[in-house]
Amino acid sequence: MIKQLGFLCIIMTCLLSCTGQSHDKTRDKHTITIAGSTSVMPFTEKLAEHFMLDHPKFVIDVQGGGSTAGIQAVLNNTVQIGMSSRELNNKEKMLNSITICHDGISIVLHPKNPITDLTLQQIRDIYNNKIKNWRELGWIDRKIDAVTREEGSGTRGAFEELVMKGKEIDDSIMVQDSNGSIKEVVATDPYAIGYISLGLVDQKVKPVTIDGAIPTIKNIKTGKYKIVRPFLYVTNGELDMYAKEFVDFILSRDGQKILKKEGLVGFYD
Amino acid sequence: MIEKALLKERFVKWVLIAFALSSLLFLFLIFIFILAEGLPLFLKVGVGNIIGGFKWAPTRGSFGIFPMIVSSFLVTIGALAIGAPMGLSCAIYLSEYSGKKTQMLLKPALELLAGIPSVVYGFLGVIYIVPLVRNYLGGSGFSLLSTSIILGVMILPTIISISFDALISVPKTYREGSFAMGATKWQTIYKVILPSAKSGILASFILGMGRAIGETMAVIMIAGNALKIPGSILDPLRTLTGNIALELSYASGDHRLGLFSTGVVLMVIIMILNYIANFGIKRKIAK
Amino acid sequence: MRRINPRFIDKIVQIVFNMQAFFTVSILIVIVAIIFIKGFPYVNPEFIFASPEDMGRHGGIFPSIAGTIQLALLSILFATPLGVGTAIFLTEYTRESTFTKLIRFGVESLAGIPSILYGLFGFIFFVIKLKMGWSLLAGVLTITIMILPTIIRTSEEAIRSVPRQLRIVSYSLSATKWETIKKVVLPAAAPGILTGIMLSIGRAVGETAAVIFTMGSSLRLPLSIMDSGRTMAVHFYILAREGISMEKAYGTALVLVLSILSINVLAYYVMHRAISKYS
């Protein structure tokens, strides 16, 4: 027992000294903490990866948690930057917000689904449970497996505002808690319909045109495709110089180019 | 010298008492903090509107979790319907039919499987069970049925190991007496062993229920999480645990309090189940 | 109607039970087999020792392995003295009384609480009220409470099974109570206690719900206890659920399941050896 305990202690000391040492190493590094929307997170991680390649002294800690949690974290000063995929509400207006880009919300189907075009009204009816069967939209006699995001999500908030327009999302609609999991459901279930960030659309799912407009960066810029929301960085007061350097990088042509490559709508062409 | 030793003894004793009290302290903290966050909403919105309410729209002031309570019980009953017969017959096989060697090998092997993380069960459910249900039975596959199947398998180790202990602790003389009266093995099991191990077996079912109702990650992966009470076994559903895990990271204000209220209801249900299970086990010991 | 021969029924029943047991065991074997077969091609030294890139789509899972080890060992470091101390108190220092019943009630209740409620508690208490944020520390403290009942129960059983004679001999050599416990009882009970510790490590490694809300899910290697981190189970959950990469998900599942199973096998081996020593 004593021997084993001793062994355990040695492991512990090693572990702790390791963490201690590496902590020393991080002391002369500049840490930027970011948390919030799971929609914005993957793109922030991408940007951070690129940024840290050129700036080895920086450590950027990116966390999910959701738009609301991110904004809360900024308010409590637990993180420097909060990510939000919805506009700030009145209670949060005292915070600074920086729009880093815009994002289209794409309505997606399984690639095998022959339907290519839907109207905003049809989508609203599907989520309101007025249209329940694919037959009503000209396909086979099979129940529509619609998927939505959970209550409190920024993407859902934007979807409710831009698509549902006051109509309620029905209780019989399935709920998933991230863009990725909605995409997985739609990618595996031929009868599913969901909505995800345009930047995450790939060959696993098929985006539909809405009232004739394909969700593309061009159509968003010209205003033809209307389901669009901003991606915000939220801060409490002024950022320190290091965090500002990162934000400046995102707003620069280089940063915006990365976002554009990911399918988001940046500020340059 | 002796006094010093005595002092040390006394010191050790007090430290140990403090350690022993820590469990109670933790339990107390868990209760207090979940209640402190969960109860205010009960007072504000009304107990009936939360427990009996049908509408969950926390950002618009509706906090009804009745459908989730029903759904939690439905998956639990579903899991039991699948896990209980399989688990019990496996336990009977182990205690009555298998040789000593098989028993020594199988029992720990089955218990090991309790260690497989629930996310792995959930993942396999999504990859294998959900498409199976969708292709052969209809619906999206994210359903009461798929969830029950996965939970049924997850509670197997609990049911097997506790009902096995109950069966094995039936005195040998019972069996011998029954055989001596000319009963067959099955008659002995059915008429003698199962009745005398009844409370232990029941306890294993209830503990299995406790595990099923408390399971979270596997459930949100397979259940589909729709808010409506499922109309058939092929419909999606949302459990109490799923509600908490889905929305906790996004929630703020009253929405978050609503999730803690969900936690309070879950805690009460679990406490009742544990009480019944412990009561069942105690009765067996008293006998 | 003629009565069916009970012997015949007996045979049928026996076959049914055999098949049923075979079926149950094969389900469990299939689960493990799927993980091994699907995950095996993706597990290699690079996968284990490299850092993930592109949210885990490429690269390895090293930070999550390190995060898992840190979480499990630190939790054990806290929970072992508390748990073993409680067990010693319950077995050696008191008779059954209302007080011990109360403590037992506490331990039993803790054991029955589902992990999501631990997550909820850890989130509100450690993360928010004590302002730890999503951090290794918040995760460790939450998991410590969660594994405490396992350690207490197994240690108590192990200490109880130490033969009385050993204690009597020690007392007759004029050893004090604590000396007896330290030098005689604990060494004899060590294998049983170790089993409990290892089972708890297995539980900490496989936990998701309680960890994700307390330790967060940052993909970076936690360098201090105030950093957020991601355990293998959480990493696997995110990979699989977000559909980031099925290959990496299967690979992570294999490493995860393999480490839990080997810890548990080791635990049973230690216990088995201890049992055969005393009986």
Cα gap C94→C89, rounded to integer Å: 7
Which of the pair, C213 or A87, is modelled with greater confidence? Answer: C213
**Which pLDDT band, with edges at 50, 70 and 90, does A21 fall under?**
very low
- My answer on whether A237 and A194 are in the same domain is no
CB A103 within 8 A of CB A39: yes
pLDDT of residue B232: 94
Residues C52 and C158 in one domain: yes
B268 close to C (CB below 8 A) = no
Same domain, C177 and C133: yes
DSSP 3-state of A223: coil
Output A75 or B120, whichever has higher pLDDT. B120
Q: Could you tell me if B30 and C112 are in contact, meaning their C-beta atoms sit under 8 angstroms apart? A: no
Q: Are residues A250 and A148 located together in one domain of the fold?
A: no
Report the pLDDT value the prediction gives residue B263, as an integer from 0 to 100.
96
Same domain, A112 and A214: yes
Tell me which residue of A144, A135, A120, A262 sits closest to A193, measured CA to CA.
Answer: A144
pLDDT for residue C144 is more than 50: yes
Q: What is the pLDDT of residues B20-48, one digit of tens each?
A: 999 999 999 999 999 999 999 999 999 99
- A67–B140 C-beta distance less than 8 A: no
Domain assignment present for C196 = yes
From the number of C-beta atoms within 10 Å of its C-beta (0-12, 13-18, 19+), residue B35 rates as: middle
Residues of chain A contacting residue B137, judged by C-beta atoms under 8 Å apart: none
| Cα C94 to Cα C101: distance, rounded to the nearest angstrom | 11
User: Where do the domains of chain B lie?
Assistant: 2-51, 65-286
| Encoded tokens for A145 | 């497996």
Of A19, A23, A78, the CB nearest to C133: A78
Query: Is the CB of residue B144 less than 8 Å from the CB of residue B233?
Result: yes
Reported confidence tier of residue A67, pLDDT bands at 50, 70, 90: confident
C-beta atoms of A66 and B250 within 8 A: yes
Q: Say whether A151 and B59 touch across the interface (CB within 8 A).
A: yes
**Do A18 and A60 fall within a single domain?**
yes
Residue type, C58: H
Is there a domain that residue A31 lies in? yes
Query: C89: which chain B residues are within 8 Å (Cβ-Cβ)?
Result: 16-17, 19-20
Return the percentage of chain A with pLDDT > 70, whole number: 89
**Rounded mean pLDDT of A129-155?**
92
**Domain carrying residue A92:** 2-101+231-261
- Give yes or no: residues C36 and C55 share one domain: no
Number of domains in chain C: 2
Span A124-133, pLDDT tens digits: 999 999 999 9
pLDDT at A1 over 60: no
Is A129 found in the same domain as A72? no
Q: Is B272 an 8 Å CB contact of chain C?
A: no
The answer to whether position C63 is within a domain reads yes
Reported as a single tens digit per residue, the pLDDT across A34-65 is 988 888 988 898 899 889 888 888 888 888 77
**Using the 8-state DSSP alphabet, how is residue A228 labeled?**
E
Distance CA B175, CA B198 (A): 15
- CB distance A82 to A70 below 8 Å: yes
Same domain, C181 and C234: yes
Pairs of residues, one from chain B and one from chain C, whose beta carbons lie less than 8 Å apart: 229
Q: What is the pLDDT of residue A8?
A: 52
Average pLDDT score over residue span C73-93: 94
User: C13 to chain B nearest CA, in Å?
Assistant: 7
pLDDT value at position C171?
87
Quick one: which of B115, B31, B73 has its CA closest to B210? B73
**Same-domain check for residues C149 and C224:** yes
Say whether both A218 and A255 belong to one domain: no
* Smallest CA–CA distance from B277 into chain C, residue: C112
pLDDT tens-place string over residues A176-198: 988 889 999 999 999 999 999 88
Q: Quick one: pLDDT at residue A269?
A: 66
Is residue A178 domain-shared with residue A109, that is, in the same domain? yes
Tell me what pLDDT residue A12 has: 52
Contacts of residue B170, defined as CB under 8 A and 6 or more positions apart, other chains included, come to B192, B193, B196, B197
Side chain identity, residue A5: L
User: Are the C-beta atoms of residues A241 and A115 closer than 8 Å to each other?
Assistant: no
Within-domain flag for A267: no
Does residue A24 have a pLDDT over 90? no
Cα-based distances in Å from A127 to A113, A168, A171, B253? 18, 8, 9, 27
Place of tokens 């260690």: B115
Contact B154/B121 with Cβ under 8 angstroms?
yes
Does residue B127 come out as left (phi exceeding 0), alpha (psi in the -120 to 50 range) or beta? alpha
Separation of alpha carbons B56 and B261, rounded Å: 12
Residue C2 has pLDDT above 90, yes or no: no
A57: left (phi over 0), alpha (psi -120 to 50) or beta: alpha
| CATH code assigned at A87 | 3.40.190.10
Q: Are residues A18 and A87 in the same domain?
A: yes
**pLDDT of amino acid B280:** 62
For the stretch B225-239, what's the b/e string if a residue is b when 16 or more beta carbons lie within 10 angstroms of its beta carbon? bbbbbbeebbbbbbb
* A93 token code pair: 């207006």
Instruction: Flag whether pLDDT at C20 surpasses 70.
Output: yes
CA trace torsion B207, B208, B214, B220 (10° rounding) = 180
Q: Are B159 and B84 in contact (CB under 8 A)?
A: yes
Residue C1 maps to a domain: no
Render pLDDT for A68-121 as a digit per residue (tens, 0 to 9).
Answer: 878 888 888 878 999 998 888 778 888 999 999 999 999 999 999 999 999 999
With respect to residue A56, please indicate whether it lies within any of the assigned structural domains: yes
| CB-nearest partner of C224 from A23, A76, A178 | A23
Q: Helix crossing, C186-206 with C62-88: angle to 10°?
A: 140
Whether residue C182 lies inside any domain: the answer is yes
Average pLDDT for residues C24-28, to the nearest whole number?
88
Same domain for A149 and A88: no
CATH number of the domain that residue C264 is part of: 1.10.3720.10
Domain of C24?
A: 6-40
Sign of CA dihedral A85, A86, A92, A98: positive
State residue C44's pLDDT score.
92
CB-CB under 8 Å, C242 with A184: yes
Helix (H, G, I), strand (E, B) or coil at A174: strand
Does the pLDDT of residue C95 top 90, yes or no? Answer: no
Domain membership of residue C221 (yes or no) is: yes
What percent of chain C lies above the pLDDT cut of 70? Answer: 97
Clarify whether residues C123 and C75 are in a common domain.
yes
Task: State whether A127 and A214 are in the same domain.
Answer: yes
Alpha carbon of B21: minimum distance to chain A alpha carbons (Å): 24
Do C87 and C106 share a domain, yes or no? Answer: yes
Across the range B57-66, mean pLDDT stands at: 90
Greater model confidence, C151 or C28: C151
Q: Give the pLDDT score at A178.
A: 87
**Cβ pair A188:B131 closer than 8 A:** yes
Q: What's the N-to-C CA distance of chain A in angstroms?
A: 68
C142 within a domain of the structure (yes/no): yes
Examine residue A266 and state whether it is found in any structural domain, yes or no: no
Query: Which residue, chain included where needed, has tokens 């409620």?
Result: C117
Average pLDDT for residues C165-178, to the nearest whole number? 87
C31/B124 touch (CB, cutoff 8 Å), yes or no: yes
**Residue C270 covered by a domain:** yes
What is the per-residue pLDDT for C189?
A: 92
Domain B65-286 in this protein, CATH class: mainly alpha
Whether A269 is in a domain gets the answer no
Same domain, C12 and C72: no
Question: Which chains sit next to A, with 3 or more Cβ pairs under 8 A?
Answer: B, C
User: Are residues C16 and C96 both part of a single domain?
Assistant: no
A268 in a structural domain: no
In this structure, are C178 and C236 located in the same domain? yes
The residue that leads in pLDDT, B117 or A19, is B117
Name the domain count of chain A.
2
Which member of A19, A22, A45 has the closest CB to residue C55?
A45
What mean pLDDT do residues C199-216 have? 93
Nearest by CB to C73, from A12, A78, A181: name it.
A12
* Cα first-last separation, chain C: 54
Least confidently predicted of A11-20, C56-65, C183-192: A11-20
